[in-house]
Structure 1
């Protein structure tokens, strides 16, 4: 019987990556969260500071930051000014997907952290030869540990929340939870702590924590990166699969290599 692998991430990202492996398993890709740009006065003030050259470094934590920045700058008719200001500033991004999103929108990337994890990004930034003021561009739910780690190494960090993560309780998530309750999922894979958190919130709201954990006992759980694994384990979920590298391809290779053993 074919195994069913559910990936709790955006379908537009994961479905194309899963296609080469569809002869090995059935993949279901659903995101428990959606992003909404925080289009407020704080972003306008960030642009003023950026245009004035206040930041030595811009740190971009995911492709959603790029998309949100571009959307809000375009709405202000300042996209060209954003591009010009970024070209004069050292912009450090996390992972190749974020780099590709920036390049697509004409934003110059100075360097790329090799893995899509906070640890990789912080280590990469702290290897830069100088210190100064940075704008840390991310969601409104970013971990304070990253700020602490950077400030400890001498950076002055200004956090700029450019998007908010909202729980998506749409029909697709309801269908996935129905499938899980019916025993129709063999593997659950979580790309980020935010996806894990949103999924757990929805499961607990629907079944209660005790029942949610019981449902997960019969499922192999995969986590991409240390932070995602730790978030799941803090809740009480047993994580059995973690790829050596925190990237999508490594996650998929691990899943398909283990799916027949599950």
Structure 2
């Protein structure tokens, strides 16, 4: 509700005097629409001064400077493994910038806590550096996308160093329990996905040595990567009311951010 309070408070309008327009299918629960930006307040002030509706439209260039962005990150990864490729330790550190007025953290190392198992433990660390620029925000894909790229690149380097096939390396370190909590995953089809994907893409025809696959004068590359996305669940309820005319009223609490939940 803080975002709803900010515009009225900034221009001296009582909250009860505001009319909020509810759009059921606005979509875009992430990024620029999730926060109040300076141009939002300027638009309100312009509408009050002109006593007319005002529409403020950002140019494509302004989208990179006047609203949120995904923070860059400098990541350091260390993997410990046996000669057979079994992980015995993962360390994933990330440093990212944020605004001087904010403490937003890009949790790039979060994926390392649940993607693969490591017998000796998993350590992650996040640090932020306050800089004079706009505050980062949660953009698709928040946190995990940056971290997976770094972690899975390191896994490929480990596969090459140990001589273990990249798919086999992932299968060796797959787990049915969350390494962070020890509890079973509610759903995890990683092993099935790796095996079926390798079969469909003809992975057995791939050679391990980089630059060894060619088609005529062209070099061919064939690689793979894995990903996991943490999802939090809360209790939910639904209610169905049957009316006398034979119709039914279905009521449930949800949020449509553009993924088609309503339809």
Length-normalised TM-score, structure 1: 0.22
The structure having more radius of gyration, on CA atoms, is: 2
Length-normalised TM-score, structure 2: 0.22
Highest RCO, 1 vs 2 (Cα 8 Å, sep ≥ 6) = 1
Which structure: greater helix fraction?
1
